[in-house]
Amino acid sequence: MAPPLLVLLLGCLLSDSPAPAPPSPESGAVRSVTAYFHTNNTAARHGPDAQRTFLRRTQHPDYRDQRCSLDGMTITAEPALGTLRPDEEFTVAGRHPVGRVWVVGVEITVRRGGVVVGRQLGSQHLVAIDGRWYGFAPCPG
């Protein structure tokens, strides 16, 4: 039996549907989203306190009171930039956040004390407001 990721990759390669076009480099979205994730990952490498500071600073202004404890863990995210696209339908608790919402596929790695305790593929929403990117602090389950 083939691993699920391989099956998904083969399904995408054999599909008749065209792949989504990445955002135009002129928009600056790819470059600025890359910088957002780079800054997050650098903070995570410096430990839980540095990452907590980054997440607090970049928490979407409408949801600053909705934070979670990472309980000593750090989370790095590697974006699949070819999947970056606007997501006008995204809501949080039934409300559309202020700003322009984007979504991107990511590979998340969770570490505790430098040891990998989990990996997951998923998507992450970011919001552009006045030239800055904001997110929604993760809450481990």
Task: List the one residue out of 54, 79, 39, 32 whose CA is nearest residue 138.
Answer: 54
CB 90 within 8 A of CB 103: yes
CA 38 distance to own-chain centroid: 11
pTM of the model: 0.76
* Per-residue confidence (pLDDT) for residue 115, from 0 to 100: 95
pLDDT for position 7:
38
Q: Using an 8 Å Cβ cutoff, are 77 and 106 in contact?
A: yes
Measured CA to CA, the distance from residue 88 to residue 105 in angstroms comes to 16
pLDDT value at position 117?
95
Contact 52, 78 (CB under 8 A): no
Series of mean pLDDT values for 10-residue runs along the chain (141 residues): 42 43 59 94 95 91 79 93 94 92 96 94 94 81 50
Helices (H) then strands (E): counts for the chain: 3, 4
Query: What is the rounded distance in angstroms from the CA atom of residue 82 to the CA atom of residue 104?
Result: 8
**Largest separation between any pair of C-alpha atoms in the chain:** 48
How high is the pLDDT of residue 49?
92
Q: Do 111 and 44 touch, CB atoms closer than 8 A?
A: yes
> What per-residue confidence (pLDDT) applies to 116?
96
